[in-house]
């Protein structure tokens, strides 16, 4: 019996414990659900607050942009250019509004059938003034613009005369003679002033368009200056260029291509080169070749020696191109093999010698030496002698001219010593 009671008590205690656990779990779930709902509401409130702040910032930014746009529009609208453009048109419109009614009333007093004459005369002045603007836009010849100006001012002058007569005719109709005179002068002034103001406006706009791009103007000026200098320096080439441009179909040959061809036809060389320039280059090459030949070194060998020195660290002390050549013969000559070899000799090759060293040289003639002496005296010293001027004076080849020049310089050095 006691065991059953004990068992029942344990069961009741277990049920009570399970109920407490279930209640704790439900409470925990409820708390979690409530916490999640609170967090969701907090997130929603924070999101709504951020959206309101973003909208506020956006509205503030849009207001600032609108203010900037209005300020930019005002600044653009009230620039001197726009004020002048629109102000002139307003002034022209007021002038037309003041002068046209007087034209109409003047002819109506004569006959109602003459009503169209007033608008026709006034309109002729304005149409011709607009024609001047159109001619400027289309870059028509100057005589067309001046003809339209004369027609516009003639029509305006005729209308001004009519308005002046109408104004002076008002004397006695509630106006004194002086007041009528002033009215006539005023009507004549506005009649002439409208087309004149419009014409001045067109002049200003035309001049402004010409000076709208200072950089382009400077470039055009520099180009014209360059072409002028080119025409003076190479007149024969420029004349041939013009012939080529005229001979070619229109638009098929550019000016620079024509100049290239003309240079080639006249000078016989690509652009920038002349016979003198080529002769100077050949003289310089001949002088360098002569110096290298005296050192038993051709330009090709010098380049190879420098390359091998860079590759193998040769310092030139072993009989290279720029060192002292070996005193002993080469390749089995009496005295044995060469002790010091050049870079090429070290590879079983003989040092390259200039052909000018082996060829028979033409002996220097005394007459040629005397010619070169006189040339040096005329030039002011042997230092001014060059292979080119010696060649031109004697009429010989470059190598012979070099020998002549060197001989005269040697004579001078010997005489000074």
**pLDDT tens, 265-320?**
898 888 888 888 888 888 887 777 776 666 655 566 667 667 766 666 544 444 44
pLDDT at 165: 84
Task: Print burial letters for 298-328: b (CB count within 10 Å at least 16), e (below 16).
Answer: beebbebbbebbeeeebeeebbbbbeebbee
CA 127 vs. chain centroid, Å, equals: 41
How far apart are the C-alpha atoms of 164 and 189, rounded to whole Å? Answer: 9
> Closest Cα partner for 153 from 145, 165, 141, 143?
145
3-state secondary structure at position 171: strand
Report residue 168 as tokens.
Answer: 């002076």
pTM comes to 0.39
Alpha carbon distance 142, 268 (integer Å): 45
pLDDT value for 18 = 86
Contact 331, 337 (CB under 8 A): yes
The pLDDT, as a whole number, for residue 263 is 92
How far is Cα 363 from Cα 411, in angstroms, rounded to an integer? Answer: 16
With tokens 């050095």, the residue in question is 413
Spans of the chain, pLDDT less than 50: 314-360
Average pLDDT of the residues of the chain: 77
Q: How far apart are CA 255 and CA 234, in angstroms?
A: 15
């Amino acid at each position: 019996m006691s065991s059953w009671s004990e068992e029942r008590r344990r069961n009741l205690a277990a049920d009570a414990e399970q109920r407490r656990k279930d209640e704790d779990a439900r409470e925990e779930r409820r708390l979690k659900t409530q916490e999640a709902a609170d967090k969701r509401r907090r997130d929603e409130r924070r999101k709504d607050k951020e959206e309101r702040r973003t909208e506020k910032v956006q509205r503030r930014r849009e207001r600032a942009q609108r203010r900037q746009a209005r300020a930019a529009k005002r600044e653009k609208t009230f620039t001197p250019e726009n004020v002048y453009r629109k102000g002139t048109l307003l002034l022209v419109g007021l002038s037309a509004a003041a002068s046209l009614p007087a034209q109409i009333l003047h002819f109506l007093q004569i006959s109602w059938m003459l009503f169209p004459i007033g608008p026709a005369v006034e309109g002729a002045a304005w149409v011709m003034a607009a024609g001047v603007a159109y001619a400027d836009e289309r870059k028509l010849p100057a005589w067309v613009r001046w003809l339209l100006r004369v027609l516009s001012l003639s029509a305006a002058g005729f209308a001004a005369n009519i308005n002046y007569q109408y104004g002076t005719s008002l004397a006695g109709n509630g106006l004194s003679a002086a007041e009528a005179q002033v009215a006539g002068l005023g009507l004549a002034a506005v009649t002439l002033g409208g087309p004149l103001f419009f014409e001045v406006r067109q002049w200003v706009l035309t001049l402004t368009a010409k000076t709208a791009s200072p950089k382009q103007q400077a470039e055009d000026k520099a180009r014209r200056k360059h072409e002028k200098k080119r025409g003076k320096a190479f007149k024969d080439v420029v004349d041939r260029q013009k012939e080529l441009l005229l001979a070619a179909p229109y638009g098929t040959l550019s000016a620079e291509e024509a100049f290239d061809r003309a240079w080639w036809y006249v000078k016989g060389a690509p652009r920038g080169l002349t016979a003198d320039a080529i002769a100077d280059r050949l003289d310089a090459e001949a002088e360098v070749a002569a110096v290298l030949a005296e050192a038993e070194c051709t330009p090709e060998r010098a380049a190879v020696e420098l390359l091998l020195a860079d590759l193998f660290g040769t310092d030139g002390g072993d009989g290279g191109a720029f060192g002292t050549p070996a005193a002993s013969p080469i390749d089995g000559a009496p005295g044995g093999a060469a002790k010091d070899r050049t870079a090429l000799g070290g590879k079983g090759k003989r040092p390259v010698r200039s052909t000018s060293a082996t060829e028979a040289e033409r002996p220097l003639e005394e007459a040629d030496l005397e010619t070169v002496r006189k040339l040096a005296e005329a030039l002011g010293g042997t230092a001014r002698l060059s292979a080119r001027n010696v060649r031109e004076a004697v009429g010989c080849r470059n190598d012979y001219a070099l020998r002549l020049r060197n001989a005269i310089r040697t004579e001078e050095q010997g005489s000074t010593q």
